[in-house]
Amino acid sequence: MDETTLLSLVAEVLFLRNTTAYRDEENELVRRGKVLNSQVGGSDPRARADELRRLAPGPMILGADMETGSGWAADGLKVPPFMALGAAGREDLATAWARAVGREGRRLGLDVIWSPVLDINTNPDNPIINVRSFGEDKETVSRLGAATVRGFRDSGIHFAAKHWPGHGDVAVDSHIALPLLDISRERLTEVELYPYRAAAAAGLESVMTAHLLVPSVDPEHCVTVSPRHMAILRGELGLPGPHFTDSLAMEGLRTTVDSAEAAWMALAAGHDLILVDYKRSPLESYAAVLAACRDGRVPESRLREAAAKVRALKQRLANLPPLPPAATIRADLEAMAKQVAEASTTARNWAGSTPDFGTKPLLIICDDLKRRGLEIADEQTAGGLAGRHPAVAALRQWADFTPVILPEDPAKADDAALAAQLEQATAVLGVTFARISCYKGDGTRLPASQTALWQRLHQSGKLRAMLLFESPYALEDLPNLPTVVGYGSDPASLQAATAALFGALPCPGRLPVTVRR
């Protein structure tokens, strides 16, 4: 194989990460045609997508995560997560979700999104999947996963289900360390791979693999660099690809193998598109893959196969039907989010009547303040979110609450500050967000200090009800009080749960996971 051909093939199989720290290197790789795929993000993904396409001498595939819609974009919208669809249980909503999100992705300039999540969340202590999954039951995940496949196909966007072969039964975040999926080969086939067979029948072609060690398949290599796993994917399941690695910047991989070396190893194992490590210069991963293709560690046949799959996808993406107008896409996205949120709202210990909060109701919210744009110190010194936290805005439509915003791990000093307000209040409504996020390492349950706070408020006799958003497993940490659960922190979930609390909407959702209390 001549050098020109080699360089053109390598350009097809690497995926840049849109990393600000290495923007100059990434732009140069694209401009020179050395890498022709990239993740996009930021507040204006469309502008970055347009810039990359202008730079590139050939077609590009541009991708992003959109598990909760496009809230990361300035003109985007966050929508309920997959577990909300699990609570609603309706295939029509799952198809509508995927169709609306897929079209929104195309509006933003994307060609591919890494979705749906087909992990079956059988481990309640899983710190990274949780509400990203449809639930704990393989039939539910399979049924709704296939429905989302149909919706994505309708939208025209390409999509890759994840995290193959299954990230649901682990208790470690693979962003932090390598999880062990210590199950039999028979169990893997019967449970973890079950949703992928249903999705394949519905038209799934691509997956994103997980950084996992599954000893029953390969006791030495994580999935990312394991030819044995990729043989199952292509042979047993018959999924043609192109197939993506997960980010090679995740510590689950980086702590076991050099991430630049892993780039060529993943390609040799059977992946077609490699998401290079964004924590180091992309030039290092590019050089490692190029060297391995030159000396035969990546066989020429494997490189040609991967590049051919990517080029075939690019050709297909170039011939998609036009999108509806942007206003129509937005209206459909908003309508879908509202429908899913209202269909998924779930009640516990609920008789259906709105609690009496009296004339001086106090609203206490515990949340991860950093994601709201504030550090904890900002909240403590400036009052921060008291007037503009989205839950405050949603609840003040129903009652004149006095809000108090606390960090998710409140300190004893917060008790002292609350004492005077609690004395004056006629009743208290508690709101908490059990947030799951990368590198956090927990979040399925509430911090002990927060659990103690809710118990003390319950013992005071003034805590009348709770609103819980995100991880439903945190129900185990709340007092035995009327509680309404919303599975996301998006605007539609906040509106639906607060309306249900005040009797304006029913709570038709059912918990898609087992809560032990």
Q: What is the mean pLDDT of residues 129-154?
A: 98
Tokens of 23: 């923007």
User: Which residue carries 């995100």 as its tokens?
Assistant: 470
> What secondary structure does DSSP assign to 466-489, as a single string?
EEEEE-GGGGGGS-SS-EEEES--
Q: What number of other Cβ atoms are within 10 A of residue 32's Cβ?
A: 13
Which helix (H) or strand (E) segment holds residue 9: the answer is helix 3-13
Are the beta carbons of 78 and 488 closer than 8 angstroms? Answer: yes
Report whether pLDDT(380) > 50: no
Q: What is the pLDDT of residues 14-28, one digit of tens each?
A: 999 999 999 999 999
Give the separation between CA 45 and CA 39, rounded to whole angstroms.
10
Tokens of 163: 């995290």
Q: How much is the pLDDT for 22?
A: 97
Are the beta carbons of 99 and 113 closer than 8 angstroms? Answer: no
Give the separation between CA 12 and CA 1, rounded to whole angstroms.
16
Q: How much is the pLDDT for 385?
A: 54
Q: What is the mean pLDDT of residues 294-309?
A: 98
Q: How much is the pLDDT for 379?
A: 39
Q: What number of other Cβ atoms are within 10 A of residue 229's Cβ?
A: 23
Query: Number of helices (H) and strands (E), helices first, in the chain?
Result: 19, 13
Report whether pLDDT(111) > 60: yes
* Residue among 301, 271, 302 nearest 14 (CA): 271
Residue 271 known to be catalytic: no
Report whether pLDDT(376) > 50: no
Residue 272 known to be catalytic: no
Tokens of 148: 């989302």
CA distances, 110 to each of 12, 38, 104 (Å): 17, 10, 9
User: Which residue carries 């006799």 as its tokens?
Assistant: 461
Tokens of 282: 């992309």
Q: Compute the radius of gyration of the chain from its Cα atoms.
A: 24
Q: How much is the pLDDT for 387?
A: 56
The residue annotated as part of the active site, out of 167, 175, 229, 243, is 175
The residue annotated as part of the active site, out of 169, 246, 272, 367, is 246
Give the separation between CA 296 and CA 156, rounded to whole angstroms.
37
> What secondary structure does DSSP assign to 279-337, as a single string?
TS-HHHHHHHHHHHHHHTSS-HHHHHHHHHHHHHHHHHHTTPPPPPPHHHHHHHHHHHH
Residues 6+ apart with CB under 8 A from 267: 13, 274, 289, 292, 298, 302, 303, 306
Report whether pLDDT(11) > 50: yes
Could you give the strand order of the β-sheet that contains 206-209, starting from the edge strand earlier in sequence?
37-39, 61-64, 112-113, 158-164, 206-209
Q: How much is the pLDDT for 369?
A: 80
Q: How much is the pLDDT for 19?
A: 93
Report whether pLDDT(250) > 70: yes
Which helix (H) or strand (E) segment holds residue 403: the answer is strand 402-407
